[in-house]
Amino acid sequence: MYNINDLDALQSVMSSNDAVLTYVGAFNQDTVKSMLKYTESKLESSGVKDLTRKKIFNVMTEMLQNISKHQNDTLNNENEAAVFILGEKEDGFYLLTGNNIGNNLIELVEGKINIINGLNKEELKEYYKKMRLNSTISDVGGAGLGFIDIVRKSENKLEFKFIPQGNMDSFFILKATISND
């Protein structure tokens, strides 16, 4: 089989990182809906408690919406595809998205996440209200409301990384963790 080594590698990477679902490609409404549905059933069958399930579902919805909004509209090559990963660990779940962004946006995104990660629950609530009042429709999520929502719903700080992909772009990885209640 021509791609067997890749299959082995994929199985191995997924297994060593506890990934149970990965999707690579364009994110549209149908894809998002079917992944949410799958995850809902998976969590139910795994006996995950209601509260945890709700958190995972809400965070996943937010992250998938984010990636739908910010993915490159024209996928010209494999480097432009976005990725979503659901991981199941002993003590909880993680949700991870990855997509290419322009290097000119790194400072802005990093700044927003760092502000959000530095706030406590109450401060986050206030910050959300403030940003919501100040944002306009044309921001298309640019105010960082999505990030705030993810932190509020997951009750954990966001992890992120930018991996350079040539001179113009970087691969932006965003990870949210939901602990078992």
Partners of residue 82 on adjacent β-strands: 25
Q: Name, in order, each residue with C-beta under 8 angstroms of 171's C-beta and a sequence gap of 6 or more.
A: 98, 99, 100, 162, 163, 165
Q: Is 148 in the site for another protein (CB under 8 A)?
A: no
Q: Draw the binding track, 98-117, toward another protein (x: CB under 8 A; -: no contact).
A: x-------------------
Q: Is 119 in the site for another protein (CB under 8 A)?
A: no
Contact 84, 64 (CB under 8 A): yes
Determine whether 176 is exposed, middle or buried from the number of CB atoms within 10 Å of its CB (0-12, 13-18, 19+).
buried
Q: Is 180 in the site for another protein (CB under 8 A)?
A: no
Q: How many CB atoms lie within 10 A of CB 66?
A: 20
Contact 59, 50 (CB under 8 A): no
The one segment of 27-35, 63-71, 103-111, 116-124 that binds another protein by CB under 8 A? 27-35
Q: Is 7 in the site for another protein (CB under 8 A)?
A: yes
* Chain residues 58-97 in contact with another protein, contact rule CB under 8 A: 78-79, 81, 83, 85, 88, 96
In whole angstroms, the minimum distance from the beta carbon of 33 to another protein comes to 7
Q: Is 168 in the site for another protein (CB under 8 A)?
A: no
- Give the separation between CA 71 and CA 80, rounded to whole angstroms: 8
Q: Is 147 in the site for another protein (CB under 8 A)?
A: no
Which tokens is 54 given?
A: 């709700």
Residues that bind another protein (CB under 8 A): 1, 3-4, 6-11, 13-17, 19-25, 28, 30-31, 33-35, 37-38, 40-42, 44-45, 78-79, 81, 83, 85, 88, 96, 98, 159-161, 163, 171, 173, 175
